[in-house]
Amino acid sequence: MLNPDGVYLGNYRCSLMGFDLNRHWLDPSPWAHPTLHGVKQLIIQMYNDPKTSLEFYIDIHAHSTMMNGFMYGNIFEDEERFQRQAVFPKLLCQNAEDFSYSSTSFNRDAVKAGTGRRFLGGLLDHTSYCYTLEVSFYSYVIGGTTAAVPYTEEAYMKLGRNVARTFLDYYRLNPLVEKVAIPMPRLRKEKPPPYKHPLLRGPARNHPNGKGDKKSSVNHKDPSNPF
C-alpha cells in the first residue's frame, strides 16, 4: 500500500501532495514520494543480496474505464524472456473467471516509463517478472457471456486468492492441477530503449526511460493465441 495518505483523503490515484506515484519510480524523492523511495531502496537491497531470489513484482491498481482484471507486462529484446513472462497471466486466466488474457498487453509506451512495472522490468535481471495487475472499478464479463457482473468486495478478494493459487500452479506446488505445457507467445523483436541504471547488476540491460523510447511505443495486445 504505497498511497496511504491519498487514499485516506479519498484519492484513488494521487498522493496527499497531488503526485501520481506510479509515474515517479525513476527518481523518487524521499520527501515528496517517501513510500516509493523506501520500497525502491528495499527492492534494490534485496536484488543485490545473493541470498535473496526476487522473482516477481506485481503492482496492483484499479482501472476506471476497462472491465475485468488484466495485466500489463513489458517488452524485451530477449525473445525467451518475453515468452516466459506470458506464462503467469495465462495461468491466472485459467484460475480466475474474471481475469481477461485478451485484455492483457505487453508494451513500453513512453508515458509509462515512470511506472514500477517499467522501471523494475529494466532494473531486475531476466529471472524476474514485473507486472501491473489492473482490476475494474465496476464489473467483469465472464467468457462466452455478455452480461456485466458487478464487482463486490468478496469478488475482489476471490481474485486475490486466485492470484495466490496461480503461484502454486506456477511453481508446480498444487498436487490437484495436471501438469500441462503452457503455449508460448510470439515476439516481434525490438531494440530496447538506451538507458542504463547505475545500480544495474548482472545481465539486466533493458532499462526504460522517457527519452529513449519516444518512437518505440508498441502495444502487443495478445502476443500469442489465447486459450
Cα–Cα–Cα angle for 105, 151, 147, nearest 5°? Answer: 80
Taking residues 74-102, report their average pLDDT.
94
* Burial class, 114, CB count within 10 angstroms (exposed 0-12 / middle 13-18 / buried 19+): buried
Nearest to 212 by CA among 93, 95, 64, 77: 77
Nearest to 144 by CA among 188, 189, 200, 102: 102
The 10 Å Cβ neighbour count of residue 180 is: 9
pTM of the predicted model, to two decimals? 0.76
CATH architecture of the domain with residue range 55-181: 3-Layer(aba) Sandwich (3.40)
Domain limits of the chain?
Answer: 1-52, 55-181
Q: Known catalytic residue: 134?
A: yes
pLDDT at 226 over 60: no
Cβ-proximal residues to 226 (8 Å cutoff; 6+ apart), any chain: 93, 101, 102
Query: Which residue of the set 55, 77, 79, 134 is catalytic?
Result: 134
pLDDT at 37 over 50: yes
Query: What pLDDT does 175 receive?
Result: 75
CA distance 37 to 41: 6
Residues 3-13: tens digit of each pLDDT: 999 999 999 88
Query: What pLDDT does 173 receive?
Result: 86
